[in-house]
Structure 1
Amino acid sequence: MSMEYRLRRTLPSNRVAIIMPVDHGLIFDRIEGLETPSAPFAAWGESDVTGFMMTPGQVRQTARYFAAHPHLTRVLTIDTYYDYRNLDGGGSHGLITNVEEAVRMGVDAVKMLFPWNMSRAEQVAMCTRVGQVVNECNRWEIPLVLEPVIIGAPRTEEVIKQEEKVARIAYDLGAHVIKIAFPGEERTKRLVDELKVPLVIAGGPLTGTPADTIDAVAQTIRSGARGVIVGRNIWQRERAEGLQVLSEVAKLTRAQKFND
């Protein structure tokens, strides 16, 4: 399979992708809504999502389900980070699997965190690690989704500016797709225009009303982003409310086409 094939499965040209992340167990404690890690796929896979962001354990346990639902894409998280609550550079990042194993499992893309609130030495090691993964992804023809983040930090203006800068570093390291927390419509559009690399926007923790989530997605789509990564703002709501949010989000994503 080629890089282009996998990238187009992950980010289709006939709509904005809705990728539901359910890989939180790699970082968080036991989290509400993911008590049974394999449950979200059957619960949400028929609700107009285009794919899921998953852990190696989830990929292995759900192979039969995805074989029966080949339209759904799988983005494999290949790393972890501890302790995400430490804002003073005390966290530790590492890989939990490799690109060759991801290809063997048949996933469509791999995903890594790119945390930047680390010591200078850890930042250099992080860039080295990402560079090695990019090289392996190019060798195996599978896209890397790289997530610049000031991990665990509140969404202050300074943090948003820092994540914009780290997104540029992600581009320079060769990321095929960049995943970033929503920095606002204007900033997102500028990143899309300047970097010219597919951008996907993370929804983050459950916050606000359903209308707030839908409005943020609408702004994301207007800015030219190729995908929305929406998890807790759907599956941590009451089931009926979550389905309604997802239905409205899907309408917005289906209204956008791309000339690839």
Structure 2
Amino acid sequence: MSMEYRMRRTLPSDRVAIIMPVDHGLIFNRIEGLETPSAPFATWGDKDVTGFMMTPGQVKQTEAFFARNRHLTRVLTIDTFYDYAQNDGGGSHSLITTVEEAVRMGVDAVKMLFPWNVSRVEQAALCKRVGDVVSACDAWDIPLILEPVLIGAPRTEEVIIEEEKIARIAYDLGAHIIKIAFPGEERTRRLVEELKVPLVIAGGPLAGEPSETVDAIARTIRAGARGVIVGRNIWQRETDVAEKLLSEVAALTRSVSFDD
């Protein structure tokens, strides 16, 4: 399979992708709404999401489900990060699997964190790690979604500005797709126009009213993002609220298409 095939699977041309992340156990262990790690796929797979962001264990346990639902894409998280909540530069990042293993498992893309609030030594090691993964992804024709983030940091204006800068580093390292927390409509549009790399926007933790989530996603789409990564803002809500919210989000994502 070619890079272009996997890119179009991950980010379709006829709509904005909705990728539901359910890989939180790699960092959070047991989390509300994800007590049974294999449960979300059957629950949400027919609700107009385009795919899921998953752990290696989830991929292995759900092979039969995805064989029956081939329209759904799979993004494999290949790393983890600890001490995220301390925000003191002492966090530790590491790969948990390889690009070759991701290809063997038949997934459509791989995803890595790019946590920048670490020591200078770890920043250099992280850049080397990302570079090695990019080279492997290019060799195996599978996209890397790279997530520049100041992990555990509050969403202040200073943090948003810094994450925008880190997105440029992610681009320079060769990321095929960049995942970033929503920095506002203007900054999202600028990143899309300047970097010319597909941008997907992370929804983050459960917060605010459903209407606020819909509004943020509408602004994300207006700014030119190719995908929305929305999980806890859906599956940690009451079922009827969550289903209505996802339906509204899906309608927004089907209102645009791309010339590629």
Q: Same fold (TM over 0.5)?
A: yes
TM-score band, normalised by the shorter chain?
over 0.9
Corresponding position of 1:50 = 50
Q: Render the CA deviation track for 1:22-59: whole Å, top value 9, x for unaligned.
A: 00000113110000000000000000000000000000
Tell me by how many angstroms 1:236 deviates. 0.2
Does residue 144 (structure 1) correspond to residue 157 (structure 2)? The answer is no
Does residue 118 (structure 1) correspond to residue 118 (structure 2)? The answer is yes
Q: When the two structures are aligned, how many residues end up with a matched partner? A: 260
Corresponding position of 2:255 = 255
Q: Render the CA deviation track for 1:91-125: whole Å, top value 9, x for unaligned.
A: 10000000000000000000000000000000000
Alignment of 1:174-189 (within 5 A): 174-189=174-189
Letter aligned with residue 135 of structure 1:
S
Aligned-CA RMSD value: 0.4
CA–CA separation in structure 2 for the residues paired with 1:29 and 1:42: 21
Give 4+ residue runs of structure 1 displaced > 6 Å after superposition.
none
CA–CA separation in structure 2 for the residues paired with 1:176 and 1:143: 6
Q: Give the SS at the match of 1:27.
A: helix
**TM-score, length basis structure 1:** 1.00
Letter aligned with residue 128 of structure 2:
T
Tell me by how many angstroms 1:150 deviates. 0.1
CA–CA separation in structure 2 for the residues paired with 1:86 and 1:121: 18
Does residue 155 (structure 1) correspond to residue 155 (structure 2)? The answer is yes
Tell me by how many angstroms 1:83 deviates. 1.1
Corresponding position of 1:169 = 169
Q: Render the CA deviation track for 1:67-105: whole Å, top value 9, x for unaligned.
A: 000000000000000011121111100000000000000
**TM-score, length basis structure 2:** 1.00
Aligned-residue sequence identity (percent) comes to: 78
Question: Structure 1, unaligned stretches of length 5 or more?
Answer: none
Question: Structure 2, unaligned stretches of length 5 or more?
Answer: none
CA–CA separation in structure 2 for the residues paired with 1:84 and 1:29: 13
- Tell me which moved more, 25-34 or 110-119: 25-34
